[in-house]
Amino acid sequence: MSSQPDGASAAIATMDTLAAPMEPHLPAISPVAASASVPLGVLPEAKTPPGQIALIAMGTITFLYFARPVVLPIFLACMAGMTLKPLIRWLSECHIRPALSAAVVLCLFVVAVGIGFLELGRPAMAWMNDAPEHMRQLRQRVQKMVPQASRFSQAAAAVNDLGALPLQTTKVTTVELQTSRVPSTFINWTGTLLGGMGETLVLLYLLLASGDMFLQKLVHVMPTFRDKKRAVEISYEIQQNISIYLVSVTLINISLGVAVSGGLYWLGVPNAVMWGMLAALLNFIPYFGPVAGVMLLGIVGVLTFDTLLTGFLPPAWYLLLHLGESNFITPVLLGRRFTLNPVVIFVSLIFWTWLWGVPGAVLSVPILVSIKVVCDRVPTLSSISELLTT
């Protein structure tokens, strides 16, 4: 039998001693007390009281509502950044620095959005300037197409005249000077919108130019390797899902707008390109957007055609395209990855629209997708993930 040196034997003995579990000296415990005590190494799970959870939720909602001038540009920039981040990574692989690639991508994005709004804004402003004349024509056409409507309006006017005083012989003419608040309100709203857009664009550039710096910082502050790995997986999955969702929905809506414009042009509707672009923009808002599109095209159809049947052709064409897109094209392209509960989508739409208006309505589904990704990756939130899916 070969003998080991004394140093090696001592090292092995020391490693065995260190590897052996330390047995704490515990006092003697009776079997009854041992059965009632908490097992060693298992700490009681701390539960947050429901009242505290409600207070935290109410405080968060209040903060998001009153801080929307600050928070909303951050949310918009983060969503746009997650959408464009794969393109920045691809350009980085082509040995283009993130600062330069972010500037190029952002300039192209701003130019494309600007051209789209100019093409939509000029005919839209002309149509809105003639809105009183359009409303008068709409009233006349509805009365012509539906004679019962004119008789009903005459009866309502006669009922309102019953309250008039026939013995009143003198009239006092009063002159009231009112200052119109429309220009000042429009100027304030435009300034707020431009300021928010500028903040969003600057923050978007900084997020794209920074690369993966924030993800590296997040990984650095995580305590364990498991938490670091989970943070990286959640971050990349959120970026991938948001990018795939927004890019796919944008392409689908552009195709829908082209199809709507082609159909309206074939029907002889004026400004067919404008109405197609408006239909594409409204389709970003679930439920409410298509309803508004059908109503607008219904008004356009009544103003364009002389009969009620032909006046319903433009909204019917848009509704047919929307039903085909929402029931066949979108589920096939996006698959079950983005199959969310319709009830949850509707509630989220109402909540974020109330909280942030139209931008909140646009962000409602991407926010739901991000929440679902986080809940899928965190085992304790699996019940919420099950609630979000169909």
Each residue's pLDDT tens digit, 129-186: 776 776 777 777 777 666 655 555 555 455 455 554 454 444 545 545 454 454 555 5
Instruction: Report residue 348 as tokens.
Output: 């989220």
Residue 218 has pLDDT above 90, yes or no: no
Q: 142 exposed, middle or buried (CB, 10 Å; 0-12, 13-18, 19+)?
A: middle
Instruction: Report residue 368 as tokens.
Output: 């739901």
Q: How many CA atoms lie within 13 A of 12 on its CB side?
A: 6
- At 261, is the pLDDT very low, low, confident or very high (cuts 50, 70, 90)? very high
pLDDT, average across residues 29-58: 60
pLDDT at 5: 45
Mean pLDDT of the residues in the chain: 76
CA distance 83 to 208: 10
Find where tokens 């309502």 sit: 156
CA distance 303 to 263: 17
- At 350, is the pLDDT very low, low, confident or very high (cuts 50, 70, 90)? very high
300: CB partners within 8 A, 6+ apart: 269, 275, 314
pTM equals 0.72
pLDDT above 90 as % of the chain: 13
- The residue among 228 and 201 whose pLDDT is bigger is 201
pLDDT, average across residues 343-348: 89
CA distance 357 to 218: 31
CA distance 353 to 171: 48
Residue 107 has pLDDT above 80, yes or no: yes
pLDDT at 20: 42
pLDDT at 161: 52
Instruction: Report residue 107 as tokens.
Output: 């300039």
* Residues in a beta bridge with 389: 340
pLDDT at 164: 47
CA distance 234 to 372: 11
- At 252, is the pLDDT very low, low, confident or very high (cuts 50, 70, 90)? very high
Find where tokens 């005590």 sit: 37
Residue 237 has pLDDT above 60, yes or no: yes
pLDDT at 151: 56
pLDDT at 47: 64
- At 86, is the pLDDT very low, low, confident or very high (cuts 50, 70, 90)? confident
The amino acid occupying position 186 is: F
- At 48, is the pLDDT very low, low, confident or very high (cuts 50, 70, 90)? low
- At 245, is the pLDDT very low, low, confident or very high (cuts 50, 70, 90)? confident
Q: How many CA atoms lie within 13 A of 187 on its CB side?
A: 5
3-class SS string, the chain:
CCCCCHHHHHHHHHHHHHHCCCCCCCCCCCHHHHHHCCCCCCCCCCCCCHHHHHHHHHHHHHHHHHCHHHHHHHHHHHHHHHHHHHHHHHHHHCCCCHHHHHHHHHHHHHHHHHHHHHHHHHHHHHHHHCHHHHHHHHHHHHHHHCHHHHHHHHHHHHHHHCCCCCCCCCCCCCCCCCCCCHHHHHHHHHHHHHHHHHHHHHHHHHHHHCCCHHHHHHHHHCCCHHHHHHHHHHHHHHHHHHHHHHHHHHHHHHHHHHHHHHHHHHHCCCCHHHHHHHHHHHCCCCCHHHHHHHHHHHHHHHHHCCCHHHHCHHHHHHHHHHHHHHHHHHHHHHHHHHCECHHHHHHHHHHHHHHHCHHHHHHHHHHHHHHHHHHHHCHHHHHHHHHHEC
